[in-house]
Chain A
Amino acid sequence: MKILVPIKRVADPNNANKMKVSPDGKRVVSGDLPWAINPFDEYALEAGLRLLENGATGERFGELVIVTLGPEDVQTTMRQALAMGADRGIHIPIDEEKLDAMIVAQALAAVVRLEAPDLVLMGKQAVDGDSNNVGQMLAEFLGWPMATFAMSIALEGKQIVVGREVDTGVLTLRIELPAVVTVDLRIVLSKSVRNGKTPESHAYPDDVRHISVKGIMAAKKKPIATKTLEELGVQPNLSVRYLRFEVPPARSGSTRYVESVSELVRLLHTEAKVI
């Protein structure tokens, strides 16, 4: 089995409140925040590794390829994914500001046609743009079935059964491969991924695996191929264009510390008038 995992880098999402806007308002500035793999893509990578291995013995049954659109130095982030266990990478060099969902999805579709994976496994959203578009567009461009917001995946031969986290509960789909699956948070809980090879009794930790020193060493030798948008036959025309950015106004008012439950109730009733 071959799995393709698209990976985007984002400025440290745990410090998103430190993001700024350039004085002309035209760009978002991440300052000295470090780059990280988009958390949902890291979850997709973890899920992909779990699909391809016997979790108890570590034995591997297939190939996991990552693909990233981003500038030259995005390869540093790609190496982290390789250190986690991906086998090789494809880098499509371009500035992030020149990308939108359409271009990314078209480029990924071209890579899928070259690589012919059984499954594209990716994040449901990049937590910088918070768009949540690329997976669905990619599936349509390929004419493949999709399951977005996956919280569980069970591999059953040439099919997958996916539990999707939707507003009202869990919607389950059975899908014939090849397919596009976008993952949600709960995909990294210990029993979320089943491949028929990992013993049912095996419990993964509730998170992504740690990068080992051995993994880092191995990642240095793993190949990253470069493919340009031109080679992939994708026009670099933006269909969604950002004119400006702005830091939203802060919540007005300051925090009032209250001493007791009765004081809280009194304030909510007489001052805030919400109860």
Chain B
Amino acid sequence: MVQVLVVAELLDRALRKTTLSAITFARQLNESKGGVFDVLVIGEGAEAVAHLATRYGARKVFWAEIPGGYVAERYAPTVAQLVQSQGHNVVVATASTYGKDLLPRVAARFGAGVASDIAGFSVESDGSIVYRRPMYAGNIYGYCTIDTPIHVVSVRQTEFEAAAEVGSESPIEAVEVIQDEVARRVEYVSLEAQKRERPELAEAEIVVSGGRALKSAENFKRLLEPLADVLGAAIGASRAACDAGYAPNDLQVGQTGKVVAPKLYIAIGISGAIQHLAGMKGSKVIVAINTNKDAPIAAVADYFLVADLFKAVPELTEELKRLKSAQA
């Protein structure tokens, strides 16, 4: 029997979809080991969001109102206190920058081991849970157990499908906010968020990604946006494109950027360095557009168009428009 606590993620007083992957993990674990899961909604506007989180089958939805922007030092004590008072033995969040930041700090408060960014788990005959983690930029899977009474786990969003709503409604309950001295030494200044009309990278069905070969921010926008528009795709980028300022940093796909697994990933002028592949090789179909047919991206590409992107991308956009209008 496990009692799981899902730590929800809020953004602009709404539930971030990442939360639903952590809920899926909790449900799967309850299915294989028995037990229940609770959700903790913590942050600004928590009570209202808690109501949104009641439709996923949690035993209870707890909420803790913490005004102002997210600061780990302000959240961790309350999460830890709830876990200890309720006797949760598995604490989970999705491995977004939020989950990765907060959970290890929470774990350290009660000395728990952490398995981060897991891609799966199994329950052995002796009842122990074995977590599967991608390591070495996804080139090795490690299978680990956590030997402390409480397990802290973050899950890879692309490996745990978003949970669907269930019929029943969970009761909600306020929890006491615990203050810690250390929080006084951190001041939240701002969140400069990139506003976009496009689907979120990690959730998009199609991703169009550009690399260093785009040569400028202007080209990046001029060539990739119309293509993404016809496909209803999210836009991604390589590190080189982000570092050079062609694309905003939060579009970086890779080992240290975002992990995506769409049904179609189009890599345009991207060589396919190990660190890039780590973030996209789980895609169902991969297309490369590159002048160099031996670029390492070939190792994962299903279709490889050997062509100059400056010519091929506008052509591709036009061709797709024709196809779409023929379909309509």
- Where chain A touches its partner, the secondary structure class is mixed
List the A side residues contacting B181 at CB < 8 Å: 143
Report yes or no: B73 in contact with A146, Cβ–Cβ below 8 A.
Answer: yes
**Least Cβ distance of B182 to chain A in Å?**
5
Instruction: Tell me, in angstroms, the Cα distance from A101 to B117 when the chains sit together.
Output: 14
Report yes or no: A161 in contact with B189, Cβ–Cβ below 8 A.
Answer: yes
List the A side residues contacting B231 at CB < 8 Å: 275
A10-39 residues at the B interface, CB under 8 angstroms:
13-17, 19, 21, 28
A63 at the interface (CB under 8 A from B): no
Closest chain A residue to B193, Cβ basis: A169
List the B side residues contacting A143 at CB < 8 Å: 181-182
Q: Which of B25-33, B55-63, B143-151, B164-172 contacts A (4 or more CB under 8 A)?
A: B143-151
How many residues on the B side are at the interface (Cβ–Cβ under 8 A)?
94
Report yes or no: B114 in contact with A101, Cβ–Cβ below 8 A.
Answer: yes
Instruction: Tell me, in angstroms, the Cα distance from A261 to B107 when the chains sit together.
Output: 51
Closest chain A residue to B128, Cβ basis: A243
**Least Cβ distance of B219 to chain A in Å?**
18
Report yes or no: B136 in contact with A16, Cβ–Cβ below 8 A.
Answer: yes
- Of B103, B145, B188, B281, the residue contacting A251 (CB under 8 A) is B281
Instruction: Tell me, in angstroms, the Cα distance from A170 to B323 when the chains sit together.
Output: 38
Closest chain A residue to B319, Cβ basis: A265
Instruction: Tell me, in angstroms, the Cα distance from A161 to B190 when the chains sit together.
Output: 11
Closest chain B residue to A29, Cβ basis: B140
List the A side residues contacting B285 at CB < 8 Å: 268, 272, 274
List the B side residues contacting A148 at CB < 8 Å: 72, 97, 100-101
A-B interface pairs (CB < 8 A), number: 261
Report yes or no: A248 in contact with B182, Cβ–Cβ below 8 A.
Answer: no
B229 at the interface (CB under 8 A from A): no
- Of A129, A145, A256, the residue contacting B185 (CB under 8 A) is A145
- Of B133, B187, B264, the residue contacting A274 (CB under 8 A) is B264
List the A side residues contacting B112 at CB < 8 Å: 239
A146-172 residues at the B interface, CB under 8 angstroms:
146, 148-149, 151, 161, 164-172
Report yes or no: A185 in contact with B243, Cβ–Cβ below 8 A.
Answer: yes
B291-314 residues at the A interface, CB under 8 angstroms:
293, 298-307, 312
Instruction: Tell me, in angstroms, the Cα distance from A167 to B157 when the chains sit together.
Output: 13
**Least Cβ distance of A260 to chain B in Å?**
8
List the A side residues contacting B223 at CB < 8 Å: none
- Of A17, A40, A136, the residue contacting B139 (CB under 8 A) is A17
Report yes or no: B76 in contact with A140, Cβ–Cβ below 8 A.
Answer: yes
List the A side residues contacting B148 at CB < 8 Å: 239
Q: Which of B36-44, B209-217, B255-263 contacts A (4 or more CB under 8 A)?
A: B255-263
Closest chain B residue to A162, Cβ basis: B189
Question: Can you add 6 more A-B contacts, CB < 8 Å, to A136-B105, A238-B147?
Answer: A16-B139, A19-B139, A166-B250, A172-B188, A175-B186, A258-B305
Residues of A in contact with B (beta carbons under 8 Å apart): 13-17, 19, 21, 28, 40, 100-102, 105, 124-125, 127-137, 139-141, 143-146, 148-149, 151, 161, 164-176, 179, 184-186, 189, 206, 237-248, 251, 253, 255-258, 260-262, 264-265, 267-269, 272, 274-275
Can you list 25 pairs linking A and B with CB atoms under 8 Å apart? Answer: A15-B274, A17-B137, A17-B274, A124-B256, A127-B137, A130-B117, A132-B104, A136-B103, A137-B114, A143-B181, A144-B182, A151-B249, A167-B250, A168-B250, A169-B192, A171-B70, A243-B145, A251-B286, A253-B302, A260-B305, A261-B316, A268-B287, A269-B323, A275-B264, A275-B320
10 nearest A-B pairs in the assembled complex, by CB-CB distance: A239-B113, A140-B108, A136-B104, A172-B189, A176-B185, A137-B108, A169-B193, A274-B264, A133-B104, A166-B97
